[in-house]
Amino acid sequence: MLDQADRFGRNELHALSERMDREEWWPDDSFRKIGESGFFGATISPEFGGAGMDLLSAGLVLQGFARWNHALALSYVAHDNLCANNIYRNGNDFQRRKYLPDLCAGRTVGALGLTEPGAGSDALGSMRTTARRDGNDYILNGGKIYITNGPVADVLLVYAKTDREKGPHGISAFIVEKHFPGFKVAQKLTKMGYRGSPTAELVFEDCRVPAENMVGEENRGVSIVMSGLDLERAMISPLCLGISERALELSVDYARTRQQFGKPIGSFQMVQSMLADMYVQVEAIRMLTYRTLAEAAPLEVGGGGRGDIHKLTAASVMFAAEGCHKVLDLAVQVHGGSGYIWESEINRLFRSNKLMEIGAGTTEVRKMIIAGELLKGASRHG
């Protein structure tokens, strides 16, 4: 699986990455090619157009893609894991049959709408987007921000408050199509990294959504969010791994070929020390990433958001993001001046990393999750 994804990424995606970063360009046919090659829907049953595999397989695809085009890899995981897999795990048969075949084929682009302008780490408690019942529809009002794939998405899984009094336990999930009246992309956001993966602010102004598009039960969206976040965190780690692998490969190649003082810089022990540190970091990320994907793969619907898996997924993405940061910092150091030039591939990778320390819960939130679960365990056994 990893070899196939790596080959596809090298042959089909790598050539797109430089223009995507330079122009914030979105290649319209890329998802269709990914879908035709069978890489979407790894976690989704063949009955609905998927491949019928598991989360580890999806993680390997992501890792392979991230080596060659990390921006498309990010859009891939937002589409396949955050949108399609969430609909598969939590939707009913009508919703699965209506939306999943096109998502798995890459004919439509998916996104997840959770974060709001006034609510980052406290995404649930501070959620202001509302949904009220009106006959056979719900009327959505509010906004979402930093939404990956937002400018190009056809199908969005959106969270809104259906009962304000219940706080986080008054949230419901809805499938919104881009042509629904009252939905619009307010603005496309310009980013430091992952520039080819389009990000948007979304607005809902009396957006009319059919009641049949509610995913799960009313006011039960919190379990979808929490288990989905655990899977998302497990799936960010292979993104960091693929980027780290590519940075190490580029650095080793550069150290072999770059001449200083009449010999390759790889012959200097200072440079060798950096390469050795990078290798150890990459292998450590690999071990924790694979272990976490394997343990998260059989997670039951609503089974996340607590316990060992909640702690482990937070640990995995925290370690992978911080490790990737270290690898990329050393990679730019090995490359010297050429690594500081905007157009270089290593610079493109370096600018990407900070997002992984912020998205799907910041590093600080991950530490809170880990410590909270450890202390709960201590009180259970105390």
Let me know whether 105 and 131 are in one domain: no
**At what angle are helices 345-352 and 307-335 packed, to 10 degrees?**
150
Same domain, 166 and 233: no
* pLDDT, tens digit, 9 for 90 and up, residues 206-239: 999 999 999 999 888 887 877 777 888 899 999 9
Tell me the per-residue pLDDT of 328-380, one tens digit each, with 9 for 90 and over: 999 999 999 999 999 999 999 999 989 999 988 899 999 999 999 999 876 55
The gap from C-alpha 149 to its chain's centroid, in whole angstroms, comes to: 11
Residues 225 and 356 in one domain: yes
- Do residues 279 and 303 both lie within one domain? yes
CA distance 152 to 76: 12
DSSP string, 335-349: HGGGGGSTTSHHHHH
Query: Is 288 found in the same domain as 141?
Result: no
183 and 232 assigned to the same domain? no
Residues 226 and 375 in one domain: yes
Given 109, 140, 167, the domain boundary residue is: 109
Q: Looking at residue 116, which CATH number applies to its domain?
A: 2.40.110.10
Q: What is the pLDDT of residues 136-192, one digit of tens each?
A: 999 999 999 999 999 999 999 999 999 988 888 899 999 999 999 999 999 999 999
Please count the residues of the chain.
382
Cβ partners under 8 Å of residue 36, min gap 6 = 105, 106
Residues 205 and 351 in one domain: no
The half-sphere exposure of 189 on its side-chain side, counting CA atoms within 13 A, is: 17
Site of tokens 């292998």: 283
State yes or no: pLDDT of 381 exceeds 60: no
Same domain, 58 and 76: yes
Look at the chain and report how many structural domains it folds into.
3
Is there a contact between 111 and 148 (Cβ–Cβ < 8 Å)? Answer: yes
Surface-to-core class of residue 261, CB atoms within 10 Å of its CB (0-12 exposed, 13-18 middle, 19+ buried)? exposed
CATH number at residue 301: 1.20.140.10
Which of 109, 142, 164 represents a domain boundary (last residue)?
A: 109
Q: In terms of domains, do 118 and 85 share one? A: no
Considering only CA atoms, give the Rg of the chain. Answer: 21
* The one catalytic residue among 201, 232, 322, 357: 232
Nearest to 239 by CA among 107, 86, 68: 68
**Kindly report the CA angle at 11 between 7 and 12, in degrees rounded to 5?**
110
Backbone angles phi, psi at 209, to 5 degrees: -120, 125
Q: Is 373 a catalytic residue?
A: no
AA letter at 371: A
Which amino acid is located at 330 in the chain?
L
235 and 134 in a common domain: no
- Check: CB of residue 150 under 8 Å from CB of residue 111: yes
Total-model pTM: 0.94
- What's the domain range around 103? 2-109
Mean pLDDT of the chain: 93
Are 69 and 160 found together in one domain?
A: no
CB contact at 8 A, 203 and 184: yes
